[in-house]
Amino acid sequence: MSDSGGIPQEFVLRTDPAVIDDLRARLRATHWPEGADGFGWTLGVDVAYLQELVAYWIDEFDWYAQESAINRLPHFLVEVGGLHIHAMHVKSASPAPALPLLLNHGWPDSFWRYLKVIDLLTDPAAHGADPADAFAVVVPDMPGFGYSDRPIGAPLDTRAVAGLWADLMGAFGYDRFVTAGGDMGSHVSRFLALDHPDRITAVHRTDAGVPVFTGDPADLTPSERAWLTGAAQWGAVEGAYAAMQRTKPQTAAVGLTDSPAGLAAWIVEKLHGWSDCGGVVERAFTKDEILTLVTQYWVTGTIGSSMRTYHANAAIPLEQHARRVEVPSGFSIFGGDVVRPPRAWLERVANTVYFSEPERGGHFAPFEEPELYAQELRTFFRRYRQV
């Protein structure tokens, strides 16, 4: 087993009331842009919707109720790589042996991505599923996200995070485990499989990231060429946020750290654009669910450090993107997600032994469609429980 890191210490989420008082005061003092009406979501966030959300945030949203609900799950701080990492570690309620599962979040989220799916995975019998499909679940916040420490000095890329997570799982007593993720979490899962194949039994992902291909396009199938073209087109229309976060994250961080309405605009526009909500964000998330995520970013002050991870990832050498995952890999490509890869591409980049295309659910599938996501994980990982 690799270095197991520090001993997990119990942790309770606790926010100083003065922070919430300051938050509400800033929200009341928001300077709204002129000419905001009539554009809807066509130019970015729908300002009329955001004004409605901010009014709810000021007068009705109960952060402490949300914090209390989250605290019902077991939280820990673990020192790995010189950083204190926040992670939930939820053991199985099933009498059957549980498969250790590491879940990796992306941006703009945190452990929040998996809050709805944890009980489904750890206690399947309570939800009408087979108790033999139980998992013991670990859900960490990446460095610079949520309640984990910010990296000291340069931000960490997803390959470095994968190395930390190998030690984190050792600290929780797991030598061999399976892993799953989406968005940046897909990259972390991929690097765990690439760099720690002796620790990873199987890996599940909900996307393949933005495609990187340096070979001859003639070697690609028609579906792969269409995928590359579509990804480039999506980046041209929707990728301004990523360009900013890759190149000048600190400029955006100043405004987003100072203005909670600005922070909400930056995050909610992605919840709307990347979810399977049919253009109505509250078909996928309630106001309370949205504001739980946004308030978490506010009280932890992590929007800047989370964005700097894009800058770090942009420096990952091309040869790292070209490596093929040989650990058995499963992909669930949800119908409402963005930039959906074809199976031919997945088989090119990974030892793809499972491929599924659920009709419902988008980029935040574990939160949008928790029962469906849980079933995907149960189905794929079932064959690896005795490995």
> Cβ neighbours of residue 362 under 8 Å, at least 6 residues apart?
274, 275, 276, 277, 284, 334, 336, 337, 338, 368
Mean pLDDT of 190-219: 94
Nearest-10 crossing angle of helices 303-314, 184-195 = 50
> Cβ neighbours of residue 229 under 8 Å, at least 6 residues apart?
none
Mean pLDDT of 58-65: 98
Nearest-10 crossing angle of helices 17-28, 260-274 = 80
Residue 115: C-alpha distances to residues 71, 80, 112, 297 (Å): 11, 23, 5, 16
Q: 329: closest CA among 301, 297, 355? A: 355
Mean pLDDT of the chain, nearest integer: 95
Tell me which DSSP letter residue 330 carries. E
Percent of the chain with pLDDT over 90: 92
Task: Examine the pLDDT at 4 and tell me if it is beyond 70.
Answer: no
Mean pLDDT of 15-21: 98
Task: Examine the pLDDT at 363 and tell me if it is beyond 60.
Answer: yes
CA dihedral 387, 117, 285, 365 (to 10 degrees): 10
Please tell me the distance from the alpha carbon of residue 329 to that of residue 349, in angstroms, as a whole number: 10
pLDDT given at position 60: 98
Please tell me the distance from the alpha carbon of residue 236 to that of residue 385, in angstroms, as a whole number: 42
pLDDT digits (tens, 9 = 90+) for 126-180: 999 999 999 999 999 999 999 999 998 889 999 999 999 999 999 999 999 999 9
pLDDT digits (tens, 9 = 90+) for 254-297: 999 999 999 999 999 999 999 999 999 999 999 999 999 999 99
Task: Examine the pLDDT at 101 and tell me if it is beyond 80.
Answer: yes
Tell me the backbone φ, ψ of residue 373, rounded to 5 degrees: -65, -45
* 50 or 34: which leads in pLDDT: 50
pLDDT given at position 238: 94
Nearest-10 crossing angle of helices 260-274, 287-300 = 130
Nearest-10 crossing angle of helices 303-314, 249-258 = 170
Correct CATH for 9-211+233-384 of 3.40.50.1820, 1.10.1840.10, 1.20.1250.20, 3.50.50.60: 3.40.50.1820
Mean pLDDT of 100-123: 98
Q: 15 and 67 in contact (C-beta within 8 Å)?
A: yes
Extents of the domains making up the chain: 9-211+233-384
Q: 333 and 207 in contact (C-beta within 8 Å)?
A: yes
pLDDT digits (tens, 9 = 90+) for 326-359: 999 999 999 999 999 999 999 999 999 999 999 9
Residues acting as catalytic residues: 183, 310, 363
* 3-state class (DSSP) for residue 129: coil
> Cβ neighbours of residue 90 under 8 Å, at least 6 residues apart?
73, 74, 118, 122, 136, 137, 138, 139
Sort 41 into a burial class: Cβ within 10 Å, 0-12 / 13-18 / 19+: middle
pLDDT given at position 1: 35
Mean pLDDT of 295-307: 98
